[in-house]
Structure 1
Amino acid sequence: MKNITKWLNDNKITEVECITSDQTGIARGKIMPTSKFIAEGGIRLPESVLLQTATGDYPDEELYYSLLDPADIDMVLKPDENAMFTVPWAQEPSAQAIHDCYDAMGNLIELAPRAVLKKVLSLYSAKGWQPIVAPEVEFYLTKRCTDPDLPLEPPVGRSGRQESGRQSFSIDAANEFDPIIEDIYDWCEDMGLDIDTVIHEEGAAQLEFNFRHGDALKLADQVFVFKRTVREAALKHKIGATFMAKPISGEPGSSMHIHQSLTDLKTGNNLFSNSDGSASTLFLNYIAGLQTYIPQMMPIFAPNVNSYRRYLPGADGNAPVNIDWGEENRTVGLRVPSAAPNARRVENRLPGADTNPYLVLAGNLLCGYLGIVNDLKPRKPVQGRSGNEADDSMPFNLEAALDAMDECQEIREILGDQFVDGFIGTRRAEYEGFKRVISSWEREYLLSAV
């Protein structure tokens, strides 16, 4: 706690938000005065917060008690000195301290998303490799809407008008929201978040922020905090912000593209390139791993029932519906951008913006790792435009995706049965809640017709 205490004192912090991510990506924890935080050196929370759904529900009792102590015991949370951030929007000097979750024996708890990413990163570290990643995060700004039965609308920009039509990469359209963008940049700079470019995406009032490439755990922490930052900036400007994968009918979905490569820890060289600049065997193995295991990892890349509204085979081409790969090709799920050999990387374009940042990075890296250790070979790269037909191996609804993950023994062997069963359990619990709601589509088209 010595370094943390110095950081808190240097920043004159009076209040600390002690947080950890649940399966959905919601920040769970406690808020306390700095003096109490320093004295205690951590917090305790019920283990059950790691199985809580977005609706506040839990998996069925049989699964719940098979994964957790029936006495509903506490876990011990300890702050990571490398994951301390200010809270620029707070009224008094405050900090966000991201914690890891431990059991009574001092072991990381398997259900915690941050522990899942650490476990996958340890596989690479054991081989002397470091994954390098760069997330691209999309979201929509919207008018405030407190009635969930009403569709979302774009907010009013500086011009006093709502945006309409498609304004991809428009500078003027992005400048409509300059006040909130400036707050996001200022707050991210205050917190030390490595954001780089902002662009206006295709949808009305849809923005994308790109992160600079770097360490996977560091960037997962930053994306976790970034989502909170965007929502707070929107609240300040009396509008909404959403990272739902498909929040508005007829508009493009929001994604979280993940650029990824591997570096040799001893030499610092990009392991995806040979010394002559050509693509390495390890690079091809990695792509093959993504192609082989993405179908079983889809619940992590698309964790909510809404997530699958992005994938519309034969129609809206905004999101890929395949796991093909190709160089400088945005019609495939796995794009290899044009780059110098020391920057060779692959971009997974399938994950939605609604995914948990710890789990989406863990999922990508695990797929690639399995491709390497199993010496898998990729399909031939796609030249030209890829067809917009769904890949036969891909599950494009939540039920099928959960079944595929449930049956994948290689994912279970590495991530553990507790995590896999717990994660699937929270997704199924949310889906059961969704099925109890009668939609406006059903009332409109079936009420008098069937």
Structure 2
Amino acid sequence: MTSKLDQLSGWLKERKITEVECMIADLTGIARGKIAPTAKFLNEKGMRLPESVLLQTVTGDYVEDDIYYDLLDPADIDMVCRPDENAVFLVPWAIEPTAMVIHDTYDKLGNPIELSPRNVLKRVLQLYADKGWKPIVAPEMEFYLTKRSDDPDYPLQAPIGRSGRQETGRQSFSIDAANEFDPLFEDMYDWCELQGLDLDTLIHEEGTAQMEINFRHGDALDLADQIVVFKRTMREAALKHNVAATFMAKPMTGEPGSAMHLHQSIVDLKTGKNIFSNADGSMSELFLHHIGGLQKLIPEALPLFAPNVNSFRRFLPDTSAPVNVEWGEENRTVGLRVPDSTPDNRRVENRLAGADANPYLALAASLLCGYIGMVEGFKPSAQVKGRGYERRNLRLPLTIEAALECMEGSKTLEKYLGDKFIRGYVAVKRAEHENFKRVISSWEREFLLLSV
């Protein structure tokens, strides 16, 4: 009988792959790992990385020593990283034939590492499997194309398209505006097809040179992997055409933020039916409890959807983003939208996650909140009719500091995700925020320098 590793070996040899990028995603979603010759990769059947990689901040720094040594072995030991044979992708932009293989992380006894974002998602999916359920998700990724810049103090600008002009104004759903970057998107689609990414549609969003890629619905773990690969692919395609692609939640002043909208429904594994609908086509109690769980617990899990200080700029008034966990049918002004659909396709769209969120953690959090709502029987509020932006009853924490305090105090999240993960994640985000607070902004120089 052919083993999965033998199948992977055959896949690599068939494509004449000479190098393998062995990678994991850290808490921020950054790809970290090693690049190995194919023969070495197949011989070692994995890699080792320091545990500390999972407590590294976006700046490359680490959390404070007392937390670091409380959560990790003081000897800075390695974790064992094993390839997932179902998470193998070509790297089309590489000079030599190269593949990227996503790994799972374990300790020396074979236990999954609690701080690993991919393991967190797998842990949540197992909760569903134990109930005989399978989540079906469909992510939507928004991002901006910008001019390349080597000065981080200089505001980002829209890039120049095929016409030789910069885009101006709001061009929502404009085909001509999207076509300004046809050569870039042709490369992106070609590369994504080679990688087996399940893309659906390309849309020009509301912001200047802001785009959205929709993924077809499918398995949550597979789609989280695909988002990690897509973000790398989109950045590489942009660089090839001398522009930049950014998934920052709010990269430009005065422009809308970028979200990662998460459509989610649940299938009963025995019947194959969507448990969000009754036999007569009406909303099921489980569907309403799922929404109730999202409403109750998203404020506690918000740093998993909005992980950076920049993330909270999306939630400012008049930014075209939801600022609460209200829900409503066909209502884009609330955080939880129920799209118009057939009973078989009934789903809820979580519109709160930013494009900067780690896809493993955002999907894990969104599905976990809904799961707890179903098993605990949480009831939702009355749905919103009309505009929901001004609703103040179910608002979110307003800053990253407040959100981290809320997450840190959540006994529910600790119960399901583990104390080690909660403490490690909060510590990393606090370390990043302390780093941010040391930087003097252009606003301070402009308005305070000669005025106070």
Judge same fold: TM > 0.5, yes or no: yes
Partner of 1:342: 344
Partner of 1:27: 31
Q: What displacement does 1:160 show?
A: 0.4
Partner of 2:450: 448
Task: Please say if 1:115 is aligned against 2:119.
Answer: yes
- 1:53 paired residue among 52, 57, 70: 57
1:285-312 residue CA offsets vs partner (Å, 9 max, x unmatched)? 0000000001001100000000000111
Partner of 2:246: 242
1:400-436 residue CA offsets vs partner (Å, 9 max, x unmatched)? 0000000000100110111111111110000000000
Letter in 1 for 2:449: L
Alpha carbons 1:321, 1:391 under 8 Å: kept: no
Task: Please say if 1:65 is aligned against 2:74.
Answer: no
Q: Distance in 1 between matches of 2:20 and 2:86?
A: 15
Task: Please say if 1:407 is aligned against 2:441.
Answer: no
Task: Please say if 1:11 is aligned against 2:23.
Answer: no
For 1:357-372, what aligned pairs fall within 5 Å after superposition?
357-372=359-374
Alpha carbons 1:320, 1:388 under 8 Å: kept: no
Q: Distance in 2 between matches of 1:121 and 1:69?
A: 28
Partner of 2:324: 322
Distance 1:381 1:26, change over 3 A: same
Alpha carbons 1:323, 1:391 under 8 Å: kept: no
Partner of 2:430: 428
Q: What displacement does 1:389 show?
A: 4.7
Q: Distance in 2 between matches of 1:333 and 1:95?
A: 38
For 1:190-269, what aligned pairs fall within 5 Å after superposition?
190-269=194-273
Q: Distance in 2 between matches of 1:371 and 1:323?
A: 14
- 1:283 paired residue among 280, 287, 290: 287
Letter in 1 for 2:279: S
- 2:386 paired residue among 384, 389, 393: 384
- 1:418 paired residue among 417, 420, 433: 420
Q: Distance in 2 between matches of 1:152 and 1:282?
A: 45
Q: What displacement does 1:449 show?
A: 2.4
For 1:170-189, what aligned pairs fall within 5 Å after superposition?
170-189=174-193
Letter in 2 for 1:158: R
* SS at structure 1 position matched to 2:88: strand
Task: Please say if 1:95 is aligned against 2:96.
Answer: no
Q: TM-score, normalised by structure 2?
A: 0.98
Alpha carbons 2:325, 2:394 under 8 Å: kept: no
Q: Distance in 2 between matches of 1:33 and 1:390?
A: 56
- 2:81 paired residue among 77, 86, 90: 77
Alpha carbons 1:19, 1:28 under 8 Å: kept: yes
**Runs of at least 5 residues in structure 2 that lack an aligned partner in the other structure:** none
Alpha carbons 1:270, 1:344 under 8 Å: kept: yes
* SS at structure 2 position matched to 1:137: strand
Q: Distance in 2 between matches of 1:266 and 1:449?
A: 69
Q: Give the ranges of 4+ consecutive aligned residues of structure 1 lying more than 4 Å apart after TM superposition.
A: 389-393
**Runs of at least 5 residues in structure 1 that lack an aligned partner in the other structure:** none
- Count of aligned pairs: 448
